[in-house]
Structure 1
Amino acid sequence: MVLLKSCFSLEPLFCRFFYLFGTFVYRYRWPIVVIPPLLSACFSVGFIWVFDLRVDDPAYVFTPRDARWKRELGTFSRLWPLDENKFIAGKSFETKRFVNILCKAKDGGNVLQPEILDEIDLLNRFISENITVPTTDGRFQLSYQDLCLGYDWKCSANEHIEMFRQMTQVGRVIELTYPKGGNKDTPAYLGTAIGDIKLNKTDGTVQAAKIIQMFFFLKQEPANVRKYSTDFEYAVERFLLHGFESPLIDISFAHYQSIEDGLDENARRFFPNFVTSVIALTIFCIACAFTFRVHNENKSKISIDWIRSKPLVACAGLLTTLFALISSFGLLLLLGIPYNVINTIIPFLIIAVGVDDMFVLNACWSATAKSKNFNC
């Protein structure tokens, strides 16, 4: 017969600790009941600054602080800094205010048709010349011509659209090969201007394309100009969503804040689901906390066993989880720690863990011998 050697275990130590802790909690039950809600109320003051500390920049939200790409981007930005008066699209790595628009024909055909190009050019001119945003004092209206990044004080005006419109004339001088066209004197890069293309099999020149992209690059320094550029982005968004109609083309667009707005919309959509989930979990937990018994003298009579039922334990388990959420988030906000919007899902996860712990408490209570004295 082989005797097993005794092994060191933490379980007896934990059992002893929680037994003593339970005795302490029961002895000083009223201070322990009152103090946590008061602490949670104090820490909840931190939620006043939740919008000031809120961070929804995708570069911060989804990447580590010391990510390698940040160092590499810093190197590119240092070697090719953004100059708002010497701006060349594709040679700057710091553009943080822009609007990109993709245009395609409604019939899914070639966008290099004259009537389609005229419609795209009309949209380009309208955005460049007619959409404006007011200054803070309301004295001026700023258009794209005031906010654009350009070269030698001349805005980028999506010249490739006009080039395609005049393709019959330009084609005699510039070979529209893809993605790099033109010659040594007049180079033209079409890789970001058109998409879903069809090339001529004989000479490799562009024969048809189904997508044209337009770019509107905006100034981002100083801070007040950056605000106006942001306002212009949203003004273009409102126009494209609610004001633009065309029988010839369909569009899709994005601007610098599009991902941030998507994260914010996701958080707003999550909140009603979170409230609904909490209410459903609360009802479920309280319902599961009741124990029913059948009377011996009358088998058809069923009543609640108030000795074994502990709905207050279920409520306490849920409340302590909510107090923990409020206290932890509030304290971190009081300390000035930024609130990452990706953490919006965390409260639901914490409540799920709290509900699980509550069922453990109820299971422990149910497993307790009925002959035990509940007083310490």
Structure 2
Amino acid sequence: MDMSSISRHEFRLEFLVTSLLFTAFCGYGLVWIEELVISEHWPLDEQRFWPGKSYDLNGYLDIIVAGKEHPQYGRPNILSLRYLDEVARINQYIVHNITVPVDLEGKHYEVAYTDLCMSFDWACYLNDHLTMLMPKSRWGNFSGPIAEFASDIINNEVNITYPIGWRGSEPIYFGALVGRPHLVDREGHFDHATALRLTYNVGNISYIWRKKLASWLTNKEKPPSGESQMLSETAAGEGQAHCCLV
């Protein structure tokens, strides 16, 4: 038998195992580098939190809202004012009316989302994209000298485009907020969508609030919307989406 042939195949198992271990090690190393970069640039801080950039948070709950599906025409345009108003009403109710009892230093409190939320400069994320999707006439009533200034900002500094819109220099990623948009031009403006996403970010200790929100969403006797119907019922776990029809 050729000795060179023996030398080539004698350690083939060792080479195979070594290559697999090396590949696994390199793969884990890339994950470690990714986590290091994310934690360095977007550290998890309850007062410096920004949805979509704070990847270490587990205490959040998403709600996907869509209109009732028509057997012939499919789901309606969730961007119509009737639906936007109903989604905004649901959002306001969740923010201000879903409360849980807390006893602290002998005193009893009812705390809401605004007391438990992760915030940025002490301000909660309140699904402001709903306001941006409203007609511009609904954004605020201005008069006098400030009216022209406000109108200039609204018309020139706010851009509602998909997948990325802009509010001044602040990017808004509509790609994660709007479902199946119909684009009307190459810039990404859209006039139709079938679903909207609402996000509620709370600290890890706020499991009871998330559970109560899930219970309210799945209440078939008193649904969130007068016409609502649950698509699915899931536990109030981290990141699990509830779908409401309005």
TM-score bucket (shorter structure): 0.5 to 0.7
Q: CA deviation at 1:147?
A: 0.3
Residue number in structure 2 paired with 1:356: none
Residue number in structure 2 paired with 1:298: none
SS at match of 2:108: coil
Q: 1:184 to 1:121 in 2, by over 3 A?
A: closer
Residue number in structure 2 paired with 1:71: 32
SS at match of 2:194: strand
Distance 1:234 1:135 in 2: 15
Q: 1:178 to 1:165 in 2, by over 3 A?
A: same
Match of 1:126 among 88, 93, 96: 93
Alignment of 1:276-287 (within 5 A): none
TM-score normalised by length of structure 2: 0.66
Match of 2:66 among 95, 104, 108: 104
Task: Please tell me whether the aligned partners of residues 79 and 192 of structure 2 are also in contact (alpha carbons under 8 angstroms).
Answer: yes
Distance 1:184 1:162 in 2: 15
Match of 2:207 among 224, 230, 246: 230
Match of 1:192 among 176, 183, 191: 176
Residue number in structure 2 paired with 1:246: 225
Task: Please tell me whether the aligned partners of residues 100 and 110 of structure 2 are also in contact (alpha carbons under 8 angstroms).
Answer: yes
For the aligned residue pairs, the C-alpha RMSD in angstroms reads 3.1
Question: Which amino acid counterpart does residue 236 of structure 1 have in structure 2?
Answer: L
Q: Does 1:90 align with 2:52?
A: yes
Q: 1:94 to 1:186 in 2, by over 3 A?
A: closer
Q: CA deviation at 1:210?
A: 0.5
Q: CA deviation at 1:151?
A: 1.2
Instruction: Could you tell me which runs of 5 or more consecutive residues in structure 2 were left unpaired when the two chains were aligned.
Output: 1-23, 70-74, 140-153, 241-246
Q: CA deviation at 1:99?
A: 1.0
Residue number in structure 1 paired with 2:244: none
Q: CA deviation at 1:81?
A: 1.1
How many residues are paired up? 189
Q: CA deviation at 1:215?
A: 0.4
Q: Does 1:172 align with 2:155?
A: yes
Task: Please tell me whether the aligned partners of residues 132 and 232 of structure 1 are also in contact (alpha carbons under 8 angstroms).
Answer: yes
Task: Please tell me whether the aligned partners of residues 62 and 239 of structure 2 are also in contact (alpha carbons under 8 angstroms).
Answer: no
Task: Please tell me whether the aligned partners of residues 99 and 233 of structure 1 are also in contact (alpha carbons under 8 angstroms).
Answer: yes
Distance 2:119 2:239 in 1: 25
- 1:84-110: CA deviations, max 9, x gaps? 111111111111101100000114111
In our comparison, the structure showing a higher alpha carbon Rg is: 1
Task: Please tell me whether the aligned partners of residues 60 and 239 of structure 2 are also in contact (alpha carbons under 8 angstroms).
Answer: no
Give the number of the structure whose residues are more often strand, by fraction.
2
Task: Please tell me whether the aligned partners of residues 99 and 255 of structure 1 are also in contact (alpha carbons under 8 angstroms).
Answer: no
Residue number in structure 1 paired with 2:201: 217
Q: 1:158 to 1:254 in 2, by over 3 A?
A: farther
Residue number in structure 1 paired with 2:102: 135
Residue number in structure 1 paired with 2:8: none
- 1:241-264: CA deviations, max 9, x gaps? 11424245556686772689xxxx
Distance 1:202 1:78 in 2: 36
Question: Which amino acid counterpart does residue 89 of structure 1 have in structure 2?
Answer: P
Distance 2:33 2:47 in 1: 24
Give the number of the structure whose residues are more often helix, by fraction.
1
SS at match of 1:213: strand
Q: 1:72 to 1:103 in 2, by over 3 A?
A: farther
Question: Which amino acid counterpart does residue 116 of structure 2 have in structure 1?
Answer: L
Task: Please tell me whether the aligned partners of residues 181 and 190 of structure 1 are also in contact (alpha carbons under 8 angstroms).
Answer: yes
SS at match of 1:102: strand
Alignment of 1:5-20 (within 5 A): none
Task: Please tell me whether the aligned partners of residues 97 and 255 of structure 1 are also in contact (alpha carbons under 8 angstroms).
Answer: no
Question: Which amino acid counterpart does residue 172 of structure 1 have in structure 2?
Answer: N
- 1:282-339: CA deviations, max 9, x gaps? xxxxxxxxxxxxxxxxxxxxxxxxxxxxxxxxxxxxxxxxxxxxxxxxxxxxxxxxxx
Distance 2:224 2:43 in 1: 38
SS at match of 1:139: strand
Instruction: Could you tell me which runs of 5 or more consecutive residues in structure 1 were left unpaired when the two chains were aligned.
Output: 1-63, 221-225, 261-376
SS at match of 2:175: coil
Distance 1:259 1:164 in 2: 24
Match of 1:156 among 103, 115, 125: 125
